[in-house]
């Protein structure tokens, strides 16, 4: 058995993989593969409708918001958010907490002025800035809820006088959120929701159509809403697997239930890191991510031997990002706590061998 701590594409529930594999051969008894049915067929329209329904149910999406399944990853949304929300000659505010936040604000500069309200770049993004003021004259305030590379996470979402836009790619559906506190939420699926290839967008309808610019159809949220996420052929397989994953999450008790599991996984792993003399966490304690646990060895020469031990125990995907080094244990929704304990046992065994 493999224990997959990879940062993304991340682990998916085994039962979801089995259902998806079967659908590739014969989708719902149609005699056709899911990969070859028409996206306009009643069978696939039912899949898309169910996926939208589950998003609304699991996140308690209020009236006045639309749910979209789009292509291009969160990186495309870095541009589409300002394209659709930032008026000509307007200003947007950004909180810079890592590489992806930085990439998002760079894209926004194509459409207007960008004000960086705070940054933790000087510390290699080891903490989340907290002492800042959101400018009331900006069109929106952009945040990144979880930073996969650096292992930091917003434990509380900021109060803002303007609409909040949030990239939730790496912690979507991992914890409860109040959608009404946001103007726009977007998330690449490949951490907690499904495979790479589809991106979830939840947008407040009354924010749209106010930029004063013409937007090409594929990039226009209003057009995509009117087309029901099917202005063009959607990523059918990725949407189907996302739907199955959302059904799996609902059966587990929904977001509150998985949040409790995620909190416990993070708690026991951080406790071991803090206790074990060979390892040290990277992020500030108050900002530690419950999705991506980044840690290093006190002696860098021990990194390769530890990864070798992990490999022998079926632990994969643990190598840290080059920006931080060390190790990164991504403990997404589908990773069971038993895998976390396998990692903890490996850490203890390694420490015993290297006293």
Residues marked as catalytic: 100, 167, 191
Rounded Cα–Cα distance for residues 340 and 265 (Å): 7
- Would you say 331 and 343 are in contact if contact means Cβ atoms under 8 Å apart? no
CA distances (Å), origin 302, targets 107, 110, 181, 350: 39, 45, 45, 9
**Alpha helix positions (H), the chain:** 14-25, 42-58, 73-85, 99-108, 221-226, 236-251, 254-275, 303-312, 337-353
Rounded Cα–Cα distance for residues 33 and 94 (Å): 44
Rounded Cα–Cα distance for residues 141 and 310 (Å): 41
DSSP 139-169: S-EEEESEETTTTEE-SSPPP-SS-EEEE-T
Q: How many residues does the chain have?
A: 355
Rounded Cα–Cα distance for residues 247 and 241 (Å): 10
DSSP state at residue 286: G
């Amino acid at each position: 058995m493999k224990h997959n701590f990879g940062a993304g594409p991340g682990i998916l529930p085994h039962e979801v993989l089995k259902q998806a594999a079967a659908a590739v051969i014969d989708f719902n008894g149609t005699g056709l593969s899911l990969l070859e049915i028409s996206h306009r067929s009643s069978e696939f329209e039912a899949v898309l409708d169910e996926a939208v329904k589950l998003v609304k149910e699991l996140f308690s999406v209020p009236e006045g918001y639309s749910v979209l399944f789009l292509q291009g990853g969160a990186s495309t949304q870095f541009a589409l958010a300002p394209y659709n929300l930032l008026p000509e000659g307007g200003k947007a505010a950004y909180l810079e907490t890592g590489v992806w936040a930085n990439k998002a604000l760079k894209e926004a500069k194509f459409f207007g002025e960008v004000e960086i309200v705070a940054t933790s770049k000087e510390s290699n993004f080891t903490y989340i800035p907290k002492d800042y003021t959101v400018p009331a004259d900006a069109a929106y305030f952009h945040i990144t809820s979880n930073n996969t590379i650096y292992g930091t996470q917003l434990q509380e979402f900021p109060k803002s006088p303007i609409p909040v836009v949030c990239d939730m790619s790496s912690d979507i559906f991992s914890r409860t959120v109040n959608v009404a506190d946001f103007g726009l939420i977007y998330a690449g699926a490949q951490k907690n929701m499904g495979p790479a290839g589809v991106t979830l967008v939840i947008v407040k309808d009354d924010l749209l159509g106010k930029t004063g610019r013409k937007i090409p159809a594929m990039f226009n949220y209003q057009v995509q809403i009117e087309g029901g996420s099917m202005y063009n052929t959607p990523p059918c397989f990725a949407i189907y697997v996302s739907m199955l994953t959302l059904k799996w999450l609902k059966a587990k008790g929904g977001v509150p239930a998985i949040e409790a599991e995620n909190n416990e996984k993070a708690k026991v792993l951080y406790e071991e890191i803090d206790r074990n003399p060979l390892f040290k966490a990277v992020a500030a304690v108050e900002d530690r991510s419950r999705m991506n646990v980044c840690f290093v060895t006190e002696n860098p020469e021990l990194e390769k031997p530890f990864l070798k031990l992990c490999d022998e125990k079926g632990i994969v995907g643990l190598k840290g990002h080059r920006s931080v080094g060390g190790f990164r244990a991504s403990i997404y929704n589908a990773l069971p706590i038993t895998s976390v304990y396998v990692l903890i046992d490996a850490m203890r065994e390694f420490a015993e061998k290297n006293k």
